[in-house]
Structure 1
Amino acid sequence: MIGAESAQQISPIKSALDMGIHVTSHTDAPVALPNLMMILWTTINRVSRNGTIMGESERLSPYEALKTITIWAAWQHFEENQKGSLKPGKLADLVILDKNPLKVEPMTIKDIQVMETIKEGETVFKR
């Protein structure tokens, strides 16, 4: 079992953010399924499969976690002028969710469903 001190060394994401570093969250697809709601949940709650909190002080807020998969992810790939936020002239890549991850209990974020996915302005998935 990993102790609290070791757990914080695994991913000091909040510490990096506090130092002004753009941090990103992602998956190792195809090794791990690309479930971004689970990635958000993990980044926010930092709870292992057995319920252990892995570095509580390194938790991000839901708003910060959303930025790790949108604005900052686009920046990391040098695509911030085309992706990452909704602005005129950028690709209209977005999802419509059944609940607002900024307003639900953080432990329920993994249960949020994608209702529609829009890529470059066209619907590519609809529940």
Structure 2
Amino acid sequence: MDKGLRITIHTDAPVALPNLMRMVGISVERKSRSGQVIGADEKTTPYEALKGITDWSAYQHFEEDTKGTLEKGKLADLVILDKNPLKVPEEEIKNIIVLETYKEGKQVYKR
């Protein structure tokens, strides 16, 4: 990122469950399941991690004209979360729950 690269965050689904908030939390904390910090100098901020699953990910897939940010003319794919990942302690990010999911502006999931 120091060189202007856009990182993306993803899961190994279907090998691992597709829980992107867990991936965001892991990217911010850089902790193993045993609690050991791995690559402390590779931590992201919560904001950078969110960009890694939204607009930077859309850019990686050449979809930035239609996805990744909420702008007029884009598809309006979004989620509503139970907490704000920018305002909770970093160790709580991985436990944030998706309450609703919208695909092209239409609700496709509600908890």
State the aligned residue count.
Answer: 111
CA RMSD of aligned residues (A): 0.5
The one of 16, 34, 57 aligned to 1:32: 16
Deviation at 1:111, TM superposition (A): 1.1
From the CA coordinates, give the structure whose radius of gyration is larger. Answer: 1
Scaled by the length of structure 1, what TM-score is found?
0.86
Is 2:103 aligned against 1:119?
yes
Aligned residue runs from structure 1 range 1-127, under 5 A: 17-127=1-111
Aligned partner letter, 1:22:
R
Q: Secondary structure at the match of 1:47?
A: coil
Structure 1 residue ranges, 4+ long, deviating more than 6 angstroms after superposition:
none
Aligned partner letter, 1:93:
D
Q: Mind listing any 5+ residue stretches in structure 2 that lack a counterpart?
A: none
Q: Secondary structure at the match of 1:52?
A: coil
Q: Secondary structure at the match of 1:21?
A: coil
Deviation at 1:47, TM superposition (A): 0.1
Percent of aligned pairs sharing the same letter: 60
Deviation at 1:91, TM superposition (A): 0.3
Structure with the larger helix share:
1
The 2-side partners of 1:47 and 1:95 are apart by: 25
Q: Mind listing any 5+ residue stretches in structure 1 that lack a counterpart?
A: 1-16
Deviation at 1:48, TM superposition (A): 0.2
The 2-side partners of 1:28 and 1:111 are apart by: 19
